[in-house]
Amino acid sequence: MSSNMGLNHRKSRLKSGVLLLLVALSLPVWSTPATSASQTVRQFDPATGKWVKRSVAIKPRALRSNASPIVPAIVPFSENLSAGTIVVDTDARRLYRVLGNGTAIRYGIGVGREGFTWRGAERISRKAEWPGWTPPPEMIDREAANGRTLPSYVEGGPDNPLGARALYLGSTLFRIHGTNQPWSIGQAVSSGCIRMANDDIVELFNQVQIGTKVIVR
């Protein structure tokens, strides 16, 4: 009797081992994702007035993202400004949101090209998600004089030059907004607006309120 019980026990263990092996063999094998990839994107370029296709190198985690080439960072900020104030350093091409404890969070930005920079203080008068873009008449006329035709309106979305979010500044035509050209961050390329990568403008958008002071230097 005991001999049969031992034999049955060994057979049971053998069957269990075989089942575990079969389960292991049936599991998918996960490979390490590649460190980079490329993606073709279609974007409207307001500088040329044309839709362009561009192949960009991106990391796998950014396939559904619009990340700045300049990584945001918390940095020392000694100026006596209220927490929440936004400071735009045009020359350095950086934007600071004051945290109020001697620090600020710093973002990379794109600024106005030569002849389109400005200085002053405004307050956020409106916030918009995935805003549509209506080029102002003076921009349409200016581009037409250079042989470029701008659309009268571009619907909000990934192809829109204003990107994922927009913060309107007072009664001016200027905005802090996202972009469909994240590689332009850190450059002077706009018509006076302050552009941020979509990842960054979404974060800033969620932290500021209508009435927030914006100082552009």
Q: Is residue 15 part of a domain?
A: no
Q: What span, in angstroms and rounded, lies between the C-alpha atoms of 185 and 33?
A: 27
Q: Is residue 76 part of a domain?
A: yes
- Contact assessment for residue 178 and residue 67, using Cβ atoms and an 8 Å cutoff: no
Q: Which candidate, 91, 104, 92, 107, places its Cα nearest to that of 202?
A: 107
Domain range enclosing 93: 37-216
CATH number, residue 144: 2.40.440.10
Point out which residues pair with 146 in neighbouring strands.
Answer: none
- Number of structural domains found in the chain: 1
For the question of residue 193 being annotated catalytic, the response is: yes
Q: Is residue 28 part of a domain?
A: no
Q: What span, in angstroms and rounded, lies between the C-alpha atoms of 118 and 193?
A: 9
- List, for the chain, all residue ranges whose pLDDT scores fall below the cut of 70: 1-65
Active site residue: 193, 197, 201, 214, which one? 193
Active site residue: 106, 165, 177, 195, which one? 177
Phi, psi of 59 (to 5 degrees): -85, 150
Would you state the pLDDT for residue 24? 32
Beta strands in the chain (DSSP E): 37-45, 50-58, 73-76, 86-89, 94-98, 103-108, 111-112, 120-129, 165-169, 175-177, 188-190, 194-195, 213-216
Q: Is residue 13 part of a domain?
A: no
Would you state the pLDDT for residue 117? 87
How many CB atoms sit inside 10 A of residue 159's CB? 13
Q: Is residue 194 part of a domain?
A: yes
Q: Which candidate, 97, 90, 102, places its Cα nearest to that of 174?
A: 90
Q: Is residue 124 part of a domain?
A: yes
For the question of residue 177 being annotated catalytic, the response is: yes
Q: Is residue 32 part of a domain?
A: no
Residue pLDDT, tens place only, 139-188:
778 778 888 877 878 888 888 999 999 999 999 989 999 998 898 999 99
Q: Is residue 14 part of a domain?
A: no
